A and B are shown apart, each in its own frame.
Chain A
Amino acid sequence: MLEAKTKASEGKVKKRKSRDAVKSDIQAVCMILPQIIGLILFSIYPIVYVVKYAFYDYDMVTARFIGFDNFIRIFTNDPAYWKSILNVIIIGMSKLIVEMPLAFLLAYIIDSKFIRAKSVFRVIYYMPNVMSAAVVGLIYYFLFSASDGVVNALLLNIGAITEPIAWFSGKWTAMLVIGIASLWQGFGVNVLFFSSGMTTIPRDYYESADIDGATMLQKLIHITIPSLGPIMQVICMLAIINTLKMNDLVKVLTNGNPAGETEVLMLYLFKKFFAYGSGQRAEIGYAAALGVVTAIVLGIITLIYQRMTRKMNE
């Protein structure tokens, strides 16, 4: 009898508890609802839209299902698209080659016992990063402009060149300016990443190496670099993704010119969707197919990268 009673009251308590829990759940869902709606409207729906219209011929007025025709066109009849991918790969690779050793060296120097005011240098190096990529594009457009640019004027003054270089008229000089501008804007992030990686290396490693009489170079090769392995992989990954996403800077600096020679992936896609400055018929379906292929290409690059780093770890 008594047992039954306590059970009954326990049941009551449980029920009340669960009613409170249900109330909390409902409140929690309501609080997160704006994010859920945003996710559906601005992430999921756009992805579904792009995947769907990739199989259509759509000019904003009529949509006609055409199966894989858009994809066939990408792979057989759109060299400009593949050139834009090649361009970001060229820019990305050359940047990595310069940026990684530079950022590592700077972080290493800052971390060394010789340097005071460490944070002053970190703050300066990271500064270009907080600026708009479009505005950075404009600044470099100003610095490198052909007739009245600062760089040409300085080079003329010191006698390195005899007449102004038209930086934006040739593919490789234009690519060089894009590379310099994006290197200038981005290297500071990597200094910060390397720096924060170096502060996590336990000091006793270095102390015991000192006791064993290790030189600075030995400590660098046997302690610092191996300890930074994992963070280096993250840094490279982020650097690659950022280059692939490059858009605003190139749009302002060269807009893909001369004659589409400096086109980059995202800018090419953007132009296809919005058909800017061409007066052509809008090809939303084809642009969507390009979007799908681009997403797949990006996915493949990420996968290859992860495979490579996993192999390196083993």
Chain B
Amino acid sequence: MKKINLIVQIVLYAVLVLIAAITLIPVVYTFFSSFKENMEILNNSARLLPEKFRWENYVEAWKLADFKTYTFNSLLMAGTTAIGVMFFSAIAGYVFARASFPGKNVLFFIIISTMFICLGSITLYPIINVAKLLHINGSILGVSVIQIFSANATNIFLARNFVLRLPKELEEAAAIDGCDFFQTCMKIILPLLKPIMATIGILAFSGSWNEYIMPMVFTLGNPKSYPLTVGLIALQSQGEAATSWNLLLAGTTMAIVPILVIYLVFNKYFTKGLTEGAVKG
């Protein structure tokens, strides 16, 4: 019996490890190939490890292909979005959990229902028009503004649920001490919301960092504002892909490594936001 158990265990581990390997291989290949010389990528792509680690790929991508600017833009866009989304969703979550103004429930219903409508590219064009009217098009921060103030239903929902679980006594005590609704939110509630704000912030950051279509449309013809994803795909579609695979793969690595590091360090936040949003939403 023990022997059979051991065999079963080995087989099960083998299945899991095999799938894990398949999951990792494309990333590992990309990573190691980013150190190869371009000729080696073209002629000997099956070999995993480079003959010689060529760090110049990264130097060239950083300087010649301007990935320096793209990285900065990505950080700026994703950072602004994360901070804005965190702040405004927390406040909205508190308002929807505790305020009592007329029409609150209707408004909450409308916001939540935007979570279920999948609009994708349907409304992208008029959104760009609005951005033009507000003069926020052309800048990478314009994308952040839109990311902060639209489609935050899931985050507001998460923050609201968190506030609903807090004991009301805290706010009552604050009211006795003379805090009004706004002060209570800023001084008492926001500090308590840190855990859920971390989840929201990390998800917003990675979502914004990975965004492609909207920043592409926003920064069209303005390479100085490209974030990493847009700069990378622009380099690919210049038709010189074959001649600059080494730069492309170095750029790809730059685009995925930060997000993978964040994921490995904070993976609990990723999965928490995911399962809470899906199971309760």
Once A36-B107, A274-B125 are accepted as A-B contacts, the answer to whether A131 and B259 lie under 8 Å apart by CB is yes
Bound: A81/B260 CA distance, A: 36
Q: Which of B19, B23, B99, B274 lies in contact with A189, CB distance below 8 A?
A: B274
Q: How many residues from B make CB contacts under 8 Å with A?
A: 93
Interface string of A102-119 (1 = CB under 8 A from B): 100110011010110000
B46, B100, B212, B259: the one contacting A248 at CB < 8 Å is B212
Which residue in chain A gives the minimum CB-CB distance to B211? A132
Q: Which residues of B contact A156 (CB under 8 A)?
A: 46
Most buried by B among A43, A245, A267: A43
- B167-203: which residues lie under 8 A (CB-CB) from chain A? 180-182, 185
Q: Taking the nearest CB of chain A, how far is it from the CB of B266, in angstroms?
A: 10
Given the complex, which residues of A lie within 8 Å of B33, measured CB to CB?
A: 142, 150
Q: With A31-B91, A133-B212, A274-B217 known to touch, is A148 a contact of B101 (CB < 8 Å)? A: no
**Residues in chain A near residue B256, CB distance under 8 A:** 131-132, 135
Q: Does A141 contact B (CB under 8 A)?
A: yes
Asked whether any CB of chain B lies closer than 8 Å to the CB of A247, the reply is: yes
Q: Which residues of A contact B130 (CB under 8 A)?
A: 41-42, 45-46
Tell me if B242 and A148 are in contact (CB < 8 A).
yes
CB neighbours (8 Å) of B15 from chain A are 105-106, 109
Question: How many Å from the CB of B84 to the closest CB on chain A?
Answer: 9
A37–B180 touching, CB < 8 Å: no
Residue A34 at the B interface, CB < 8 A?
A: yes
Q: How far is the CB of A83 from chain B (nearest CB, A)?
A: 17
Interchain CB contact (< 8 A) of A139 among B30, B88, B259: B30
A134-B88 in contact (CB<8A): no
Q: Bound state CA distance, A122 and B274, in angstroms?
A: 13
Distance in Å from the Cβ of A38 to the closest Cβ of chain B? 3
A129→B210 CA distance, assembly (Å): 10
Instruction: State whether B212 touches A295 (Cβ < 8 A).
Output: no
Q: Which residues of A contact B107 (CB under 8 A)?
A: 32, 36
Interface SS of B by simple majority? helix
Asked if A114 meets B126 with Cβ closer than 8 Å, knowing A124-B24, A153-B46, the reply is no
- Pair A138/B120 contact, Cβ less than 8 Å: no
> Which residue of chain A has the shortest Cβ distance to B156 in the bound complex?
A35
Q: A residues within 8 A CB of B182? A: 27, 30-31
Write out the residue numbers on chain B whose beta carbons fall within 8 Å of the beta carbon of A165.
none
**Cβ-based interface call for A130 (8 A):** yes
Q: CB distance A32 to B260 under 8 Å?
A: no
B247 / chain A contacts, CB cutoff of 8 Å: none
Complex: how many Å from CA A49 to CA B148?
21
Please report the total number of A residues contacting B with Cβ < 8 Å.
89
Inter-subunit contact A130/B259 (CB<8 Å): yes
What are the residues of chain B within 8 A of A142 when measuring CB–CB? 30, 33, 245, 248-249, 252
Q: What's the least CB distance linking B21 to chain A, in Å?
A: 9
Does any Cβ of B come within 8 Å of A196's Cβ? Answer: yes
C-alpha gap A21/B180 in the complex (Å) = 10
Tell me which residues across on chain A come within 8 A of B27, comparing CB atoms: 127-128, 139
Q: Determine if B65 is an interface residue (Cβ-Cβ < 8 Å).
A: no
Say whether A32 contacts B122, CB under 8 Å. Answer: no
* Cβ contact within 8 Å between B92 and A291: no
Contact A241 B118 (CB under 8 A): yes
B73 to chain A, nearest CB (A): 14
Does A125 interact with chain B (Cβ within 8 Å)?
Answer: yes
Query: Which 4 pairs between the two chains have the least Cβ-Cβ distance?
Result: A38-B149, A132-B210, A28-B99, A153-B46
